[in-house]
A and B are shown apart, each in its own frame.
Chain A
Amino acid sequence: MNFPILTSLIALPIAGAVLLLFIRDEERNEPLIRNIALIVSVLVFAETLLLWTRFNPASADFQFVERHAWIPAFGIDYFVGVDGISLLLLVLTGFLTPIALLSSWESVHKRLKMFCVFILLLESAMMGVFVSLDLFLFYVFWDAMLVPMYFLIGIWGYDRRIYAAVKFILYTMAGSVLMLLAILGLAYLHSQGTTGEYTFDLLKLYAMDVPRSQQFWFFLAFALAFAIKVPLFPFHTWLPDAHVEAPTAGSVILAGVLLKMGTYGLVRFAFPLFPEAASFFAPYLAGLAVIGIIYGALVAMVQPDMKKLVAYSSVSHLGFVVLGIAAMNTQGVQGAVYQMLNHGVSTGGLFLIVGMLSDRRHTRLISEYGGLKNVVPRLVAVFFLITLSSIGLPGLNGFVGEFLILLGAFRWDPRLAALAATGVILSATYMLWMFQRVNYGPVTDEKNAKLPDLQPREWLVIAPIVAIAILMGIFPNLFLKPIEPSVNRLIGQVSQRSSQRLQAGNSELRIPN
């Protein structure tokens, strides 16, 4: 066994946070605190890149597996590993955290130390969620992640931050506690099986044949937790509040990584664990996803607040991801995973831009801007690129994901694909309209006339995002390649088991009494 790289991904940010706790939170220590946090997060990012280079893209199995007994009496292990689906999400997390820290360089001064501590703790929990292969461990990280995010929104957010923070944590918890019960029930079910082992080991639970009547409930409990997190229509109402009130760094991480946990959960847990229930519910999930795509886009169109607009666009974009997952074919799921990364990059970028504008003008209302094109040309150029990436212009990252998803959805159910495609058009409408109102026309407000253009630090924040967006658009195979084997394995897992049942003549999944 070589270096425990996954553990270090979780442990390094915690170590950094603990180190920060020993530094006095004083004005003169500010650069030190920022630099420590930044160095730690950059190190973590470097580690994720190292992980990627060492990762064997041809294999569908979990790699870099580490397993230690944690609470042996209850079959709980510290069991982590990474496959193609989680690999790039880890890289994304590692990528966005330093950017989030950098983006708060100027705007956060209040209680800076704790801000950095919470960001690092959050990073550690997010890494934990993506690498856990033990359901209990997964749940621990899943819940632990709420706390730092809650503080980030609640302390460093805008006016209605308390409301948003409490809503965020209660919504997510309400969904996830039922998942906890389902996890317990699943482990208990496994202990009733042939081995009699009480275990939370994901791989062992994959292999278990869950009775259909129970799959139904288990799937609902899991899907509810993930649907709230995604957020799927109609569970999305916490999202606009949380996004709007969160500080820029929080929004970037929230949109970039946290939302992906919902869709990641569907792919990793809900679908392969309960394949029959999943195939029964897939059309409903897809239906909600399509409603979310169109509804999110329509609501985004009428938002006066840029941040809220981007938040609703997230609802729409994540709808695509869920649609791709529900289709459960290679293109759909691959597209979904790809779109998770895209959304992290482009929405993260949009939040950064909005953050930069509101740092300058202290407002996010579209009507307050106008004609920025001539005032801050470089900022607008970057803004334009990211807008196009979010819309899904060919040659940029958004296109690949959406295209694959629509392809997958079309093979599954052309009607849904057709409806979802309207979402692409709508997204072009609301994004470009917003872009036009902010950047074109005459400078109506004098305050806008003398805004400074991108600072070097801001270049540092935004340039990587732009670079990645272009890279992902031009060389999608670079990213799709490691994903593919794992996706195929997943699809095999799901379809094989539900088709076995089909042959046995139990095609109908009935609602149990």
Chain B
Amino acid sequence: MSSFNAIVPMSCVTAAAIAAMIAEAFRAPGERMPIGPLGAIGLAGAAISSVLLWKDGASSFGVVVADKFGLFVTFILIIVGVLSLAISEPTIDRERLPRGEYYALMLFALAGMMLMATATDLLIIFLALEVLSLAVYVLTGIRRDHALASEGALKYFLLGAFSSAFFLYGIAFTYGLTGSTRLDRIGSLMAAQAMAPTPMQLLAVGLLLVGFAFKVSAVPFHMWTPDAYEAAPPAITGFMSTGVKAAAFAAFVRVFLAAFEPLRPSWSPILWIVAAATMIVGTVVGVSQSSVKRMLAYSSIAHGGYLLLALLAANDVGKAAVLFYLLTYAVTNIGAFGVISVLENTDQPNDRVRDYAGLWYTHPALAALMTIFLLSLGGFPPMAGFIAKWYVFSAAVKRGYTGLAIIGVLTSVVSVFFYLRIIVMMYMTTTDTPARVPPIPRMAGLALIVSAILVFYLGILPTRVLDWAAASIATIF
């Protein structure tokens, strides 16, 4: 049975998802069932099995490999999952969302993400991609009576399906060239024929690049992001902006740095431009947003740019930087969306920048938490975001991508401007009509505090996690 070891974590999550569905099916109308804790149990199982796998790793059927890299991302996803579960509860109650469906979809998406992070076969990656995407499409539009929600979900779905087709087409070309969908085999075969890249190879790489670029919302494939982020309930936005990003980047790193490494000279210039454009567009367009969710959507695009920069640098530092960055981004961004989520009111989304006016005077703790998350996103020490950015830029400088690094630091100054806009509103503006904020549920408050503590922990004492990240990349490539 040892060949099943590698898929135990995602099986736990899948089992929890199925259990959630069964519970929902047996639930009498109006009966409240503790479905959320079911998910927590599944995630706990995943966490325990991942810890057990950490030392030796495992491989299932040669297509799913639980190496340290995959497990690190799995840990990120578990954290994302737990925090998202905790901040979801108030949203579900307020919006009267179908609880079982919501949790089942979230857990299925998590299982897909975990599979994507550990898959070493293009077909499995595609399978995982579809599992997570389908679940996330539905979650995006789960507020069915919101016009915006339907619009955003439909946009996301159509463009997502389109990009999946690109991705699949890229897989087909790759298979045609090498006769395999295994990443290691593709890598060695590409290396053998790498001297002068053929048009076929370029086509395969290009198509896969488009597929990934869409999933990590890199410019120019970012159009869906603000709409989808605005459409989804904030708890879901936090979930998908971090979870999908982590899973997609894990696969991105595996495919491009393992299988297509021999073709680096042909794809690195393209990625250079994409990374630069992503950082610039994300921050510059973010400046002019008046909705906090859209603003954070553009900030998420920009952060994708920094991750691309780390991926492009692709030295030891860069690969570990991707992992560390994903972790800090996950913790921070879920925190920020968590605050948005608890601010939301039944009749009022409270997600305009001006709705934050005077928040410090009415809810000092919430304002302080939001400040911590925003400053971390902006990269201020001693928050986690600073260490993460520093890590990425040191990878870039080491590799000689000074130009991109300069673009990166300057765009992060610009991004500080829009993070500060919210802080200005919260602290320095007073209003006669402060936003009415519903009482904050205990679980959600706890999750926010935990996120904030993690933000400080990763910012002040990052050594241990940095070592883990460095160990994680030692097992692959």
Contacts and interface: CB of A to CB of B under 8 A. Distances in A.
B221 interface: no
A512 interface: no
B443 interface: no
Interface residues on B, range: 20 to 34
A143 B398 CA distance: 23
Interface stretch (A162-170, A248-256, A296-304, A406-414): A162-170
A49 interface: no
B72 to A, nearest CB: 15
Given A144-B381, A177-B409, A184-B397, A71 B466 contact: yes
A180 interface: yes
B412 A177 contact: yes
A210 B144 CA distance: 62
A154 B423 CA distance: 10
A181 B406 contact: yes
Contact of B406 (A165, A173, A178): A178
Contacts of B397: 181, 184-185, 188
B402 A170 contact: no
A34 interface: no
Interface string A113-156: 00000000000000000000000100111011011001100110
Interface string B369-397: 00000010000111000100010011001
Nearest to A217: B402
B428 A173 contact: no
Contacts of B463: 70-73
Contact of B428 (A71, A136, A162): A162
A181 B382 contact: no
A184 B394 contact: yes
B393 A180 contact: yes
Contacts of A188: 394, 397-398
Interface string B144-165: 0000000000000000000000
A178 B416 contact: no
B52 interface: no
B420 interface: yes
B413 interface: yes
Q: Which of A136, A177, A185 has the most CB of B within 10 A?
A: A177
Given A166-B420, A178-B409, A188-B394, A155 B466 contact: no
A140 B390 CA distance: 11
B394 A174 contact: no
Contact of B380 (A74, A147, A161): A147
Contact of A140 (B381, B416, B429): B381
Contacts of A146: 380
A187 interface: yes
B410 interface: yes
Interface in B397-432: 397-398, 402, 405-406, 409-410, 412-413, 416-417, 420, 424, 427-429
Interface of A: 70-74, 136, 139-141, 143-144, 146-147, 150-151, 154-155, 161-162, 165-166, 169-170, 173-174, 177-178, 180-181, 184-185, 187-188
The 5 closest A-B pairs by CB, nearest first: A177-B409, A140-B381, A184-B397, A154-B428, A184-B394
18 contacts: A72-B463, A74-B394, A139-B381, A140-B382, A143-B380, A144-B381, A147-B375, A166-B420, A169-B416, A169-B420, A170-B420, A174-B413, A177-B413, A178-B406, A180-B390, A184-B394, A184-B397, A188-B394
Given A155-B427, A169-B416, 7 more contacts: A73-B467, A140-B381, A144-B380, A165-B424, A177-B409, A184-B393, A184-B397
